[in-house]
Structure 1
Amino acid sequence: MLASPAIAQEADDDAAAPPSEPAPQNTGSRVFEPAFFTQFAPRNALDMVSRIPGFSISGGNDNGQRGLGQASQNVIVNGERFSSKSDSLRDQLARIPADDVIRIELVDGNTTDIPGLTGLVANVIYESTGPSGQFRWNTGFRAYNTEAQLFGGEISLSGSSGRLDYTVSLSNDNNRFGADGPTLVFGPDGSLIEEQVSKFSGGYDNPKLSTNFTYNFSEDVTANLNLSYGEDFLFRNVPETGTPVIGPMRFRDVRVKEDGPEYEIGGDIEFPLGPGRLKLIALERFERDNFTNDLIDTFDDDTPSDGSRYHQTNGEGERIGRFEYGWSMWDADWQLSGEAAFNRLDRVSALFTLGPGGEFEPIPFPGGNGGVSEDRYEGSLSYSKSLSPTLSLQAIASAEFSTIEQTGAAANSRSFKRPKGSLALTWKPEEDLDISITAARRVSQLSFGDFLASVSLNDENENGGNNELVPYQSWDLELEVNKGLGKWGSIKFEARQGWFEDFIDWFPLEDGGEARGNIGSADRLHLELSGTLNLDPIGIPGARIDFDAVKRWMSVTDPFTGEDRPFSYDLIDMIDVDFRHDVPRSDWAYGVSLFSNNPAGYSRRFEIGRGWEGPTFANFFIENKDVFGLTVRANYGNAFGARNYFSRTVFDGPRPDGDVLFSEEVDRRIGPIFRFSVSGDF
């Protein structure tokens, strides 16, 4: 929420679960047959996986991760990972019709022969049974500040023809958001110097056409082809009226617009070779963003208008080639893999100031123009073995070699060699108890935009470029415990300790500015408790409570003050509780969810601040699973009146020596949020 305009995005409250878990199987997995989900009338595999007690979908390939690398998701399909990056894991699961799902297995990630998977993993076993279509329409509105959300949803068709399986989908991920309220500006002595009233509104649409084709040349040879094309449209408007204690009234108009196309072409083929199987993967992805930000201040007296314009065009591309060769030897699964990933960012920026004649006039901004490219090569060897009926091991040794080149005003070129890998043990002392411990050495992915300069007009901040930026590395120790509670449900506990080197946060530049940079060592402890509690044992059949609670402790030295503090923008704690009741022997369901989180603030050279929403979001829903064969759902969100908050203190010089220049307190109303959705099959 800090990095996007999506104010008050609602938590996923679609999860539901049957009254009790299935009996554990002799294979060491827990198997969920289709009959287990019947009372929920699922439309697709996503509906089914979301209703597995105590299981939540995580991970998956995303556009922020360069390359494919080791698997990171906790859901696979027919024993294979998804290879598309443009479509999320949830998107791809939503396109598998529920009637095609044969079963879903919860298995030990170490035993899947997919390197990188640890802990409990959901394996969706399905087979295409013929043409099947499904659709989902999402609509809604808010009581204040926004236009109606009308055209969200997806329509997809899946089927088979001979040896060919296909899926075609047309979707639009969209939202409308906004908030209104006062901003109070205080002087160094705490006295009020200006009151501002703003009305923030915006929205986005992402129409996209996606296709997937799977061709079975034989029982042993299978190929996949993924194609997608989409467009991004985003707008954000913030009209503001400022009434100072002394001086003329000010009227500010802030407008943000962003659009651009994106596409992905990806495919893979797997076939026997020698004692094992070889999989070849190729992917090409490109996205262009055209971003414009205008800010104009006018006054109620003869004061000349003031304003700025910032324009930025980004072309971001990625090309990947990868091979994976797996074989069995010495009662273990082995895999040798190699990957070449070529990433690029080309940026053209322009900064303007409003001239006396009312026209925008360009001003020099060389640091915002240029390009960044990375050629990265990675090789790894993995070893997975069941040491006993209750103990499994996975070991991965890998290394990456990369060259990063920057063009433009701050041209630079550097090369890196970095080892990484992991060691994971899973112990299953009982059929309903899994304990996984993972130790890993990881290398992060850089954001290419941090190499180049940019500006934020409304906050009057300029972010300098940093051509010496390097990825941070970490040593990670992770514990995951999954415990079945029989008819009561299940529970999961996670503990993750990370020790970071070359950690990235705001960093002082020698010219007096600031940029994203490497600030030294840091550490973070993450504790999380989640699970499902079925309420059948206390006399409420078909009801369950899902919960997720997170607490983090962080430590990093502020490069400006030398003080110990949390990571900028990171999460300190969070709690999410969902109650759902599927009324037995009826098509009705209802429920409520409560969500609250506490993000850390940020620390920059000339200011500190924090943005958050709350204190608590409450959402109520009611659902009927058979309205002329359709599932209809109505949701009343933000029933407790959570608000949008932001505060910051700006200094007249670099911290810690600068004196307070002014401080701001933002308190905006979000208001109630109404959502309505209809889904069905054809």
Structure 2
Amino acid sequence: MGANRFTTGTVTVLLLAGTPAIAAPAAEPAAASGVLVFTPDFFAGSRPNDALDMIRRLPGFAIVDADAEVRGYAEAAGNILFDGKPPSTKAESLEDLLRRIPAAAVARIELIRGGAPGIAMGGRDVVANVVRATTASRHAAITAGAVAANDHVLRPVVTLEASRQSGARRIEGAIGITTEIDEDAGRGTTRTIDAAGVVTRQQPRRKWETVQTVAGRGAWDTPLAGGTLSTNASVSRARKREDVDTGAEAVRERETLTEGEAGAQYRHPIGADSRIEALVIRRIGRLRFDSTATEGSDSEHFTQRSDTAESIARLSLRRERGTLAIDAAIEGAINSADGSAALFANGAPVPVPGSNSRVEEQRVEASLGATWRPFARLTVEPALRLERSGLRQRGDAVLDRRFTYWKPRLALTRALGGGDQIRLAVQRDVGQLDFNDFVASASLDRGEINAGAVDLRPPRSWTVTATYEHRFAGDGAIVLRAAHERISDVVDHVVRHDQGVPFDAIGNIGRGSRDTLTAETTLPLTPLGMAGARIVSNVTLTRSRVDDPVTGARRWISGDKPVTGTISLIHDLPGGAISWGADMRMAELKREYRLDEIRTKARGFRFDAHVEYRPGPAWRLRLEAVNLTGLSFAETRRKYAGARSLAAPDKTETRRTATTPTVLFTVRRAFGG
């Protein structure tokens, strides 16, 4: 096997023939392979502790976690691979998986753009592949600290991690407790204005919400019968406490979510140019939710119970011959949710449609795809998936439905030289339903009741995407992406009648569209005299349209945000012992269109900052200040006496909250090598 080596700055480039670890330089030869390889030298100046630190410093790349709204394991997987394969877990975030890999255990990180030999892209045009070293090693780390906020709130953060590797055998585990303080917690006011503009009610409001999670996770990789077996297991329990006090009314919410998962993935080569892969995943979850609202002598109580399960089995085959790679797979999944809800007013039961529901979905999908390089600078990726599924609903509603979906995809990647690329793709996707929508829900704080969904169908969309990527100065990148979606059976708010009484529910409202424009940039500031500094940004503009089922008017899809994004300044000081950064999260706005209400939520700019001190390879001290300026939240509810199509709003309620800054301090100590 021949190899040609290039070096551009600290990015080492390899052009290898016929191996999964193909790489390319950041200069002209990268145009042919579309793969950039970042060796540990590239990250040495920042003294990374783990693979997450390294991934965050990849120019022009942002982590995209698994997408719960996409059907199928392969298409919903995130954009990080581990030793050339996706993780055999859906419960853990990519950040958690990366955090468990010590930086010393990373041999290189490959940024794969438009496909590479031996790599299944899972429908994404760019993925990062973390390649771990196979040398014998032992690693352990403990992270301890606390998150603090006003009102004398102090909560612990503790994580224990350990791993051991010997050749291709690897075992790792982690256990920890974390605490999150909701970003809209704080103090403010609630004001109600009638149709004539007169203030009819004004009162103070305090909201406090925390989530404490205890989790344990483990993974084991070992050679087996000529192949490689990877297994994982995890269990977690998250407890959420939310309290709202307006003086006149007090709302108390308690939620416990317990989840468990076990998965296994087996890879076996077939000859020199093929491999077969099998995957199984089993997930279970249990949700317990209780809410009580008290105002004077009146009280309301709402409870919700839900048990969910998901089983996935997948078998795939990949065959490579020269410039052509063929992928074939068959996947089966069984999803179920058994939920119940109950509402009481002053102790008396209040009937809500959809209070009892069991939903089961069975799905089989076959897929065939290819990666073809007819020319050195051109990659063509056609694919076709066929899905047959059935959805069974029991409880307050009885319904059986069967669906057949064709999901084609065609992607083209054209290298322009100098590391630049143009990527084009057109594909049809089918969304994954949220089974919680089939069960009644309530928000006593807002006085809203939601009926369970009936005859809910997955949304389907045709999406056309165009991407231009420009790389410069070794570690600079600009990625521009434009996408247009044509959506059938948009999932939004609809009206459900029960014995002549209208209720708000989730349902399908017809055809819609969504346009997005995304800019991802990494701008090194070394040319301006700030060595080790860079500006990283990721900003998305969105516009969506759909016909309102109540008024018939054209409007936004509920929940879509016109602008989202983050702009960060990160500076690794010379020597790597100290780094600091500041982040600005852009202001956001979204609307929700209900039967008798239009709700607008606006969140102001959020500013975060951090400083990290690494006195030695084994130590890291990090101080992080979140929401430094105490961002503002405003929620406006335009309420109607009946359906929005009948009259103008008769009152408007506005909630304004000045949120609280939080501080997180952690100390990390690593062991082994």
Equivalent residue, structure 2, for 1:387: 374
Cα distance in 2, alignment partners of residues 333 and 428 from structure 1 = 19
Cα distance in 2, alignment partners of residues 363 and 323 from structure 1 = 48
User: Is the counterpart of residue 448 in structure 1 residue 445 in structure 2?
Assistant: no
Cα distance in 2, alignment partners of residues 556 and 33 from structure 1 = 47
Aligned residues: 640
Equivalence map 1:175-324=2 (5 Å): 175-177=180-182, 178-217=185-224, 220-241=226-247, 251-273=248-270, 276-298=274-296, 305-324=297-316
* Contact 1:506/1:517 (8 A) holds in 2: yes
Equivalence map 1:410-559=2 (5 Å): 410-487=397-474, 489-510=476-497, 511=500, 512-559=502-549
After superposing the two structures, state which structure 1 stretch, 75-84 or 312-321, moved more. 75-84
Post-superposition shift, 1:456? 2.0
Q: Which runs of 4+ in 1 moved over 4 A?
A: 18-24, 64-67
**SS of the counterpart of 2:354?**
helix
Cα distance in 2, alignment partners of residues 76 and 586 from structure 1 = 27
Post-superposition shift, 1:174? 2.3
* Contact 2:145/2:667 (8 A) holds in 1: yes
1:61-111 per-residue CA deviation (whole Å, 9 max, x = no partner) reads: 65x655413364222121111120011111111111111111111122422
The aligned amino acid for 1:233 is R
The aligned amino acid for 1:509 is R
**SS of the counterpart of 1:375?**
strand
**SS of the counterpart of 2:41?**
helix
The aligned amino acid for 1:491 is I
Describe the shift of the 1:364–1:665 C-alpha distance in structure 2 as closer, same or farther (beyond 3 A).
closer
- Counterpart pick for 2:394 among 404, 407, 412: 407
- Counterpart pick for 1:74 among 63, 79, 84: 79
Equivalent residue, structure 2, for 1:341: 333
**SS of the counterpart of 1:35?**
helix
Equivalent residue, structure 1, for 2:586: 596
Equivalent residue, structure 2, for 1:611: 601
User: Is the counterpart of residue 578 in structure 1 residue 568 in structure 2?
Assistant: yes
Post-superposition shift, 1:397? 0.4
Describe the shift of the 1:495–1:136 C-alpha distance in structure 2 as closer, same or farther (beyond 3 A).
farther
- Counterpart pick for 2:141 among 125, 134, 152: 134
Describe the shift of the 1:364–1:639 C-alpha distance in structure 2 as closer, same or farther (beyond 3 A).
closer
Cα distance in 2, alignment partners of residues 439 and 628 from structure 1 = 46
Cα distance in 1, alignment partners of residues 548 and 527 from structure 2 = 51
Equivalence map 1:27-66=2 (5 Å): 27-60=33-66
Equivalent residue, structure 1, for 2:609: 620
After superposing the two structures, state which structure 1 stretch, 411-420 or 175-184, moved more. 175-184
The aligned amino acid for 1:671 is T
**SS of the counterpart of 1:116?**
coil
Equivalent residue, structure 1, for 2:3: none
Post-superposition shift, 1:387? 1.6
Cα distance in 2, alignment partners of residues 488 and 232 from structure 1 = 39
Post-superposition shift, 1:212? 0.5
Cα distance in 2, alignment partners of residues 365 and 260 from structure 1 = 23
* TM-score, scaled relative to structure 1: 0.90
* Contact 1:119/1:480 (8 A) holds in 2: no
**SS of the counterpart of 1:657?**
coil
* TM-score, scaled relative to structure 2: 0.91
Equivalent residue, structure 1, for 2:4: none
The aligned amino acid for 2:590 is A
The aligned amino acid for 1:223 is L
Describe the shift of the 1:136–1:626 C-alpha distance in structure 2 as closer, same or farther (beyond 3 A).
same
The aligned amino acid for 2:503 is G
The aligned amino acid for 2:658 is R
**SS of the counterpart of 2:570?**
strand
Equivalence map 1:626-641=2 (5 Å): 626=615, 629-641=618-630
User: Is the counterpart of residue 671 in structure 1 residue 671 in structure 2?
Assistant: no
Post-superposition shift, 1:154? 2.5
Cα distance in 2, alignment partners of residues 670 and 436 from structure 1 = 42
The aligned amino acid for 1:204 is V
In structure 1, list runs of 5 or more residues that go unmatched. 1-17, 242-250, 299-304, 355-359
After superposing the two structures, state which structure 1 stretch, 392-401 or 589-598, moved more. 589-598
Post-superposition shift, 1:122? 1.4
The aligned amino acid for 1:560 is V
Equivalent residue, structure 2, for 1:174: 179
* Contact 1:323/1:338 (8 A) holds in 2: yes
**SS of the counterpart of 2:394?**
strand
Cα distance in 2, alignment partners of residues 644 and 366 from structure 1 = 32
Cα distance in 1, alignment partners of residues 588 and 520 from structure 2 = 18
Equivalent residue, structure 1, for 2:19: none
Cα distance in 1, alignment partners of residues 457 and 146 from structure 2 = 43
* Contact 1:206/1:231 (8 A) holds in 2: yes
1:177-220 per-residue CA deviation (whole Å, 9 max, x = no partner) reads: 321111111112110111121110011122111111111126x4
* Contact 2:59/2:475 (8 A) holds in 1: no
Describe the shift of the 1:173–1:196 C-alpha distance in structure 2 as closer, same or farther (beyond 3 A).
same
Post-superposition shift, 1:544? 1.0
Cα distance in 1, alignment partners of residues 442 and 546 from structure 2 = 26
User: Is the counterpart of residue 98 in structure 1 residue 98 in structure 2?
Assistant: no
